[in-house]
């Protein structure tokens, strides 16, 4: 009740044509953003506003903008504010009445009626709604959810392990599907290394 009373006192101090704090903040922020926009009059009450490399159509009579932000928030967007300021108009006239002090005062004009305790509520002979019965499935319940076919497995090893054949991360040489180096190259390397070792053993034997 104290919070509502504080709001009502603040609403009394506001003038009828003044905006609420939220609407005033939004208009100020969008006004700063509108400085980087450029408006062009197209005639018939229509305008075109260029924001960076995108053009947005504006119609003040229907209070609509091509970006759609004005229609959703019922507060002029930065494109509409650029047109409003170029036409020497007041942006407050294009804000929805819901964000003005008159509607604010009307919201908190009436008092809140007191409500009795739940123990004093009348008792009706109606069935009590119970939660749905959940039947437990057979088997041990799963602790982890089922992953999709393209979803990576959980764990750090899967991302850090390196294949000894293809030198790629994510799998090892036993599960490699890319294929490793040719066996002839591997065999040639082994024979080239085996030659000197064999001669060395022969020399030591003599």
79-92: per-residue pLDDT in tens? 999 999 999 999 99
Which of 86, 107, 128 delimits the end of a domain?
107
Structure tokens at 114: 């007191």
pLDDT of res. 156: 52
Domain annotation covers residue 169:
yes
**Any alpha helices (H) in the chain, and if so which ranges?**
2-13, 21-33, 69-73, 78-86, 101-107, 157-160, 183-205
Structure tokens at 15: 């003038």
pLDDT digits (tens, 9 = 90+) for 133-170: 888 888 888 888 887 777 766 655 555 778 888 888 77
Does residue 162 share a domain with residue 95? no
Site of tokens 């494109």 = 79
Does residue 161 share a domain with residue 102? no
Measured CA to CA, the distance from residue 71 to residue 60 in angstroms comes to 11
Q: How buried is 102 (Cβ within 10 angstroms: 0-12 exposed, 13-18 middle, 19+ buried)?
A: middle
Q: How many domains does the chain have?
A: 2
Cβ(164)–Cβ(172) under 8 Å? yes
Share of the chain above pLDDT 90, in %: 32
pLDDT digits (tens, 9 = 90+) for 35-87: 999 999 998 889 999 998 899 999 999 999 999 999 999 999 999 999 999 99
- H or E segment and range at residue 38: strand 37-43
Share of the chain above pLDDT 70, in %: 74
Domain span at 162: 155-192
Rg of the chain, C-alpha, whole Å: 38
């Amino acid at each position: 009740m104290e919070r509502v009373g504080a709001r009502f006192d603040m609403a009394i101090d506001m003038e009828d044509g003044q905006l609420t704090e939220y609407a005033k903040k939004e208009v100020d922020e969008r006004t700063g953003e509108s400085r980087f926009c450029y408006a062009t009059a197209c005639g018939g009450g229509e305008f075109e506003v260029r924001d960076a490399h995108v053009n947005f159509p504006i119609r003040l009579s229907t209070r609509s903008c091509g970006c759609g932000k004005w229609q959703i928030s019922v507060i002029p967007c930065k494109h509409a504010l650029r047109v409003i300021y170029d036409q020497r108009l007041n942006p407050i006239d294009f804000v929805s009445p819901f964000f003005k002090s008159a509607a604010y005062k009307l919201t908190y004009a009436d008092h809140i009626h007191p409500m009795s305790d739940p123990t004093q509520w009348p008792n009706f002979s109606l069935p009590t709604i119970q939660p749905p019965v959940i039947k437990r499935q057979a088997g041990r319940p799963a602790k982890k959810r089922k992953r999709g076919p393209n979803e990576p497995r959980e764990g750090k090893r899967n991302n850090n392990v390196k294949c000894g054949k293809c030198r790629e991360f994510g799998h090892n040489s036993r599960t490699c599907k890319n294929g490793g180096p040719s066996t002839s190259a591997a065999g040639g390397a082994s024979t080239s290394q085996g030659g000197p070792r064999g001669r060395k053993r022969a020399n030591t034997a003599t």
